[in-house]
Amino acid sequence: MKKIIYILASITAIIFFNSKLNAQGCVAIRSNGDVCTMDHDPSSHNSGSSKWLLNLNNRYFKSYKHFVGTAEQKQRVALGTEVINHAYTMDVSLSHIINSRFSVTGSIQIVSNTRSSLYEHKNSGRYTTKTFGVGDARLSVYAWLTNPVKMHRLNVQAGLGLKLPTGDYKYQDWFHLTDSTKIMGPVDQSIQLGDGGTGFTTELNAFYNVSRRVSMYGNLYYLVNPREQNGVSTARGATASASAIKNGSDVMSVPDQYMIRAGFNFTFHNLQLTAGVRDECLPVHDLVGGSNGFRRPGYIISAEPGVSYRIKKVTVYGFVPFALKRSRTQSVPDKISTKLSGNYTQGDAAFADYLVNFGISFKF
């Protein structure tokens, strides 16, 4: 029984620590906290045992490879015209285990991003814009559909949450008109600290124990953002073009986003290895509300290897999802431009090759 409980707790750790949303590039999918926050060990609900879990998760990526659809625009790197994003986020999450079935989690982010480009600075040279500060926050409630103390082999957890627009979605920096002339304006959507929308999150997290050492996991996360646009100009401090006004890309959109994960865990005492896949997506159309405004819709399918090591009440972990397929899909403004001009229009986006995801958690 103790071994089964340990496997379940390890599965929870893997899902909890690594179920983050953070797309690897200009497709601005942001992390909004953790999922699967329950502890399966029934002894943890006894008097005096751990009822809190603090998780510090760090992520970094560099995006620079441009795609239109699934076609890589290799000439951008060859010509030196690529956009280069460096993105770092630290998620600070605190979970309270209410009992064997229910828990609550609150999370906030510390974000530091840079974006280097030519076109945003009138091709006067390669310059960098930056953002730093607090990102969006999330508060979520989780419940196992059956009692995990009794259901050791298979279980499903459901979660509902509220995403709050605590991150500055109007962050500004300097853009160069010439080598000596600058103008202040909102930075690109991909490095903004937040999206400006109050959203609702839905989650399903499941596990299945194949054997004592092998288990399967699955996660589904969807963020519903009812707000269509946040009113922030995409003109970088200048006046929006007539074409941008016509197709609605002159202001930033507040998009939905979702993630699907699945894979296997392999447990060897305190060590656990993970092999899985994940699909992160910023859809073209939202479930609720309109979908107009500037966004770079797309998806990233990644292989997701990982490792975690647990010492009593401390767990350290690391995961490196690397991209298998990247696609920048046609946005609503792209569709409007296609209809108005009669010529097919589809924008591009820059993606990373991989994402570094590592952290530490403490039970108390």
**What is the 3-state secondary structure of 86-101?**
EEEEEEEEEEEECCCC
Average pLDDT over residues 3-28: 48
Residue 100 belongs to what domain range? 2-363
Mean pLDDT of 276-286: 97
Residue whose tokens read 């979605």: 169
pLDDT at 297: 97
Q: What is the pLDDT of residue 47?
A: 39
Instruction: Give 192-238 pLDDT, tens digit per residue.
Output: 999 999 999 999 999 999 999 999 999 999 999 999 999 999 999 99
Summarize the confidence of residues 43-52 as an average pLDDT: 57
As a whole-number percent, the residues of the chain with pLDDT over 90 amount to 83
Q: What is the pLDDT of residue 40?
A: 39
Q: Exposed/middle/buried for 135, CB within 10 Å: 0-12, 13-18, 19+?
A: buried
Looking at the chain, list the stretches that DSSP marks H as alpha helix, in order from N- to C-terminal side: 2-18, 74-79, 242-247, 332-341
247-273 mean pLDDT? 97
CATH number reported for the structural domain that contains residue 126 in this entry: 2.40.128.130
Contact 289, 228 (CB under 8 A): yes
Separation CA 356–CA 354 (nearest Å): 7
**Is the whole model's pTM more than 0.85, yes or no?**
yes
Which residue is listed with tokens 């993606």?
Answer: 351
Q: Which residue has the higher pLDDT, 9 or 231?
A: 231
DSSP annotation of 81: -
Mean pLDDT, rounded, for 30-37 = 44
Closest among 287, 275, 295 to 335, alpha carbons compared: 295
Mean pLDDT across the chain, nearest whole number? 89
pLDDT at 210: 95
> Using 50, 70 and 90 to split pLDDT, how confident is the model at 37?
very low
Phi-psi region of 48 (alpha: psi -120 to 50; beta: other; left: phi over 0): left
Please, which pLDDT band fits residue 10 given cuts at 50, 70 and 90?
Answer: very low
Angle at 359 between CA 66 and CA 2, to 5 degrees: 125
Determine the pLDDT at residue 30: 59
pLDDT digits 0-9 by tens, 188-205: 999 999 999 999 999 999
Tell which residue, 243, 224, 222, 240, has the closest CA to residue 232.
240
Instruction: Check residue 27 and give its pLDDT.
Output: 64
Domain count, the chain: 1
Give the confidence band of 150 by pLDDT, cuts at 50, 70, 90.
confident
Instruction: Please tell me which residue, 29 or 183, carries the higher pLDDT value.
Output: 183
Span 70-93, average pLDDT: 97
**Average pLDDT estimate for 344-358:** 96
